[in-house]
Amino acid sequence: MHGIITIFKKELSDHFSSYRFLLLFALIAMVSMVTVYMAGLTITKELEGVAKPKFVFLMLFTSSGVGFSLTQFVAFFGPLIGLILGFDTINREKNEGTLSKLLSQPIYRDAVINGKFLAGAAVIAIITVSIVLLISGLGLIMVGVIPGIEEVWRIFIYLIISIVYISFWLGAAILFSILFRSVATSALAALAVWIFFSFFVPLGANAVANALTPDAGESDPDAVIKRAQIGKALSLTSPMELYTDSTATIIDPMRRTTRSFIQVGMMEQLSMARFSGPLSLGQSVLVVLPYIISLIAVTAICFAISYIVFMRQEIRSL
Amino acid sequence: MEQKPIIETVELTKKYNGQAAVDNLSFTVHEGEIFGFLGPNGAGKTTTLLMLMGLTEPSSGKARVLGVDPSREPIRVKGMIGYLPENMGFYRDLNAWQTLRYIAELNGLLPGVADERIESALRMVGLIKEAEKKVGAYSRGMRQRLGIAEVLVKEPRVAFLDEPTLGLDPDTTNRMIGLIERLCKEKNMTVLLSSHFLHQVQKICHRVGIMISGQMVAQGHMKELAEEMPETKDGYSLEEIYMKYFREE
Ligand SMILES: Nc1ncnc2c1ncn2[C@@H]1O[C@H](COP(=O)(O)OP(=O)(O)OP(=O)(O)O)[C@@H](O)[C@H]1O
Ligand SMILES: [Mg+2]
């Protein structure tokens, strides 16, 4: 146990003293502030002389100020945070010759992966929490409404999901740092996977769904539903999709349209309920729980592969 | 002195892609002994050390360090062994003190104990003045000294030193050799030392083993080995003995 804690502490202090962390934080803080500032301007303008809707504060996160909303920004660029923090975790130590020294100390090999992952996850948590606090403060000043208890809860859950989501990418990056000896190669591989899931899976899911249901048209509503289901199921292989869907329900309870509304099945009733008013917090959590579990599951898979590969690697080739 | 076996191997073998790097190696090192591990490049010295620490799985054969099987209980073995790797790396952004602190913590030492040991280790290797300097700014020899300090901080019962004097200046070399000898005597530490500097090995090692192509071709006291030489004369140097076996191969 002392192994994990020691490695965790060292990695954490390494992160905090690195320019990488500083730049990352500055960049994210800047973009978030601008986004929320613009969103705040839009909201205050729209709400002038209108009765205040229920979740004004949450709108800071979901309305687009400069072409994209904060949640979209995190969904899209959050992975980069995880990848940047993790792509050279193991191979840098290999290349500098410190890994064999580390492993000749009385610690388990998995303590190295775990300690490093936890340190990265802690950094992710610190970044996201402080950004959300920062923009909440900014939002408070700009919009002038104090978030209700339910909104605070929703933001809290949103934070948790975001941390899990970005940590998944950290886990993937660590896996690449184990698989590839060269730091540049693992960075490229991580980038390729990010691009694949962000751009190709959504496009590909639709293409495949269209190909599988050629006769879908106005005359055949069943096929339309089927097409939507296939497209949805395929796109859910992307962690980004899992994340977008889950956070949308949590942070945007008023959402009138959802890409999944055509989907029938267990969510049908809940989907219908959306048309009559905001989903209650409990219902929202119920809807997103499977998504969160899936996110954790894919992270676990990354870890399992990391363990298997790392445990078996010959120390001489390290 | 030669009673308790500390390191024991029985027909230890390691194959890389079907080729034996270590071939049916059997040898024993006793408590408090300094065992010199000699052999040309690629003989399998480092591979043997790695197997003795459980860092590499043997293909076959048995090894025991302090009575523990390194491939079964690597953590226990690693806790008792101080290892100086042949090409060690350092965290460039840490200073010597922080580096040793990290090692101490990984070994579960309490802060109070650790600080004491770190200070005395830094004194012993002569780095106390540069303790606050980042390792990235160290010279080759200073890093080597820091590597030795890492072993000392653990106060191990067994030390595996792979080329401990590589890159050290003559004065420091002598001091390090004296240090190793003293620790063996005072703390009853057992040392397995691999080196190409034969005159140093001759000076401090109680016994030597000569390894060629994964096999131990000779082992024993200097005197015993000298007796096997073709002509009987006094004061064979280790170099002469080594060259004889080397030529025979
Ligand atoms: N990862 C590896 N894959 C394949 N063969 C290897 C690997 N590591 C070492 N070997 C082989 O094992 C043999 C023994 O190597 P080892 O490093 O133990 O030699 P050594 O005695 O320590 O040599 P040196 O004096 O140069 O340090 C060599 O023939 C080497 O080529
Ligand atoms: Mg070697």
| Structural domains in chain B, sorted by start | 5-248 (3.40.50.300)
Task: Name the B residues in 90-129 with CB < 8 Å from any A CB.
Answer: 90-93, 102-103, 105-108
Percent pLDDT > 90 in chain B is 51
CA-proximal residue: ligand 1, atom 24 (nearest): B41
Per-residue pLDDT, A113? 94
Question: Residues B191, B159: contact at Cβ < 8 Å?
Answer: yes
Task: Name the B residues in 204-243 with CB < 8 Å from any A CB.
Answer: none
Question: Residues A193, A302: contact at Cβ < 8 Å?
Answer: no
Q: Which residues surround ligand 2, an ion (CB under 5 A)?
A: B 46, 86
| 3-class DSSP assignment, residue A146 | coil
Pocket around ligand 1 at a 6 A CB cut-off = A 314, 316-317; B 16, 21, 39, 41-47, 86
Per-residue pLDDT, A16? 94
pLDDT tens-digit readout, B214-231: 888 888 887 777 777 777
A101 interaction partners in chain B (CB closer than 8 Å): 85, 88-89, 150
Task: Name the B residues in 39-78 with CB < 8 Å from any A CB.
Answer: 47, 50, 53, 55-56, 75-76, 78
Q: Which residue has the tokens 């073998």?
A: B13
Per-residue pLDDT, A159? 92
Per-residue pLDDT, A254? 65
Number of A/B CB contacts below 8 angstroms equals 65
Per-residue pLDDT, B88? 84
Question: Residues A59, A45: contact at Cβ < 8 Å?
Answer: no
- Which conformational region is residue A252 in: left (phi greater than 0), alpha (psi within -120 to 50 degrees), or beta? beta
Per-residue pLDDT, A116? 95
Residue numbers of chain A with a pLDDT score lower than 70: 51-53, 65, 215-219, 253-279, 317-318
The count of C-alpha atoms lying within 13 angstroms of the C-alpha of A246, restricted to the half-sphere facing its C-beta, is: 30
Per-residue pLDDT, A266? 46
Per-residue pLDDT, A64? 72
| 3-class DSSP assignment, residue A133 | helix
Whether ipTM tops 0.90, in short, is no
Minimal CA–CA distance to A151: which of A39, A249, A54? A54
Bridge partners of B13, per DSSP, are B60
Bridge partners of B194, per DSSP, are B37, B162
Per-residue pLDDT, B236? 74
Minimal CA–CA distance to A270: which of A284, A281, A259, A256? A284
Written as six digits, the tokens of A66 are 């400069």
Q: How far apart are CA A194 and CA A172, in angstroms?
A: 10
The one-character DSSP state at B81 is E
pLDDT tens-digit readout, B149-174: 999 999 999 999 998 888 888 988 88
Per-residue pLDDT, B134? 94
Per-residue pLDDT, A73? 84
Average pLDDT, 10 consecutive residues per value, chain B (249 residues): 80 91 91 90 92 91 92 92 90 94 94 93 91 92 92 93 89 88 88 89 88 88 76 73 76
pLDDT tens-digit readout, B21-47: 999 999 999 988 999 999 889 899 999
- Strand B5-16 and strand B19-30: the pairing is antiparallel
Bridge partners of B83, per DSSP, are B160
Q: How far apart are CA A184 and CA B157, in angstroms?
A: 41
